[in-house]
A and B are shown apart, each in its own frame.
Chain A
Amino acid sequence: GQQVMQIPQYQHVQEGEDFTTYCNSSTTLSNIQWYKQRPGGHPVFLIQLVKSGEVKKQKRLTFQFGEAKKNSSLHITATQTTDVGTYFCAGTTGWGKLQFGAGTQVVVTP
């Protein structure tokens, strides 16, 4: 069945550094969404990518959808303590069901 793999599972980052988390699917995705969950909170929608090769930016966050629509990445520049949390990607190949990755837990060291 479809699987969405996300790496790394954990990411320790020094404040001010950049990092990237990756999402890979075994099958072609029709779209991919990214969510952020703060400690003790619930997932909050960040962005959706639909087109092959699409790149979207939100301030220090850059999201990319691969040309084959099987992978995606989230790159954060100049990490801040407010970036702490778990970032999930979620992809779907069909109608209705999103498959979430296991998430990347980000810890920021001041």
Chain B
Amino acid sequence: KAGVTQTPRYLIKTRGQQVTLSCSPISGHRSVSWYQQTPGQGLQFLFEYFSETQRNKGNFPGRFSGRQFSNSRSEMNVSTLELGDSALYLCASRTNTNTAADTQYFGPGTRLTVL
């Protein structure tokens, strides 16, 4: 099976712009989670989508949003970019029926730099 893919891999934006990142989960995986990773804050949970519905949400401002499509692909959007949004954005998928005990498979990440 192909792994989790994320596009683009690298992105440079300027403050005030918006950005959309894409994630394609492993085939058959219905849950997609997004994380922000920075050197100072570690892995911070953004949100999780399951069957096109946001199931869990982390403590991020409303500038961060996401969605999931019927084929389980997911996108996250960050509006009005700030310098502090520079980070590695990781997507993770899992099969997940109704339990939290599934393994998460991470994609390679999108490295966003905000200038």
Contacts and interface: CB of A to CB of B under 8 A. Distances in A.
Contacts of A103: 42-43
A90 B45 CA distance: 11
A98 B104 CA distance: 9
Given A88-B43, A103-B43, A97 B107 contact: no
Interface string A26-59: 0000110101000001111100101000000000
A44 B3 CA distance: 12
A48 B45 CA distance: 19
A97 B35 CA distance: 11
A96 B48 contact: yes
B109 A42 contact: yes
Interface range for B: 20 to 34
Contact of A100 (B45, B98, B108): B45
B44 to A, nearest CB: 8
A2 to B, nearest CB: 11
B19 to A, nearest CB: 19
Given A96-B55, A96-B56, A103-B42, A42 B106 contact: yes
A96 B43 contact: no
Given A42-B109, A102-B42, A103-B42, A95 B99 contact: yes
Given A35-B104, A96-B55, A96-B96, 10 more contacts: A31-B100, A33-B103, A33-B104, A45-B104, A45-B105, A50-B101, A88-B43, A90-B104, A97-B45, A97-B58
29 contacts: A30-B100, A31-B100, A31-B101, A35-B104, A41-B108, A42-B106, A42-B108, A42-B109, A43-B43, A43-B90, A43-B92, A43-B104, A43-B106, A45-B103, A45-B104, A45-B105, A48-B101, A48-B103, A88-B42, A88-B43, A90-B43, A95-B99, A97-B45, A97-B48, A97-B58, A98-B33, A99-B45, A100-B42, A100-B45
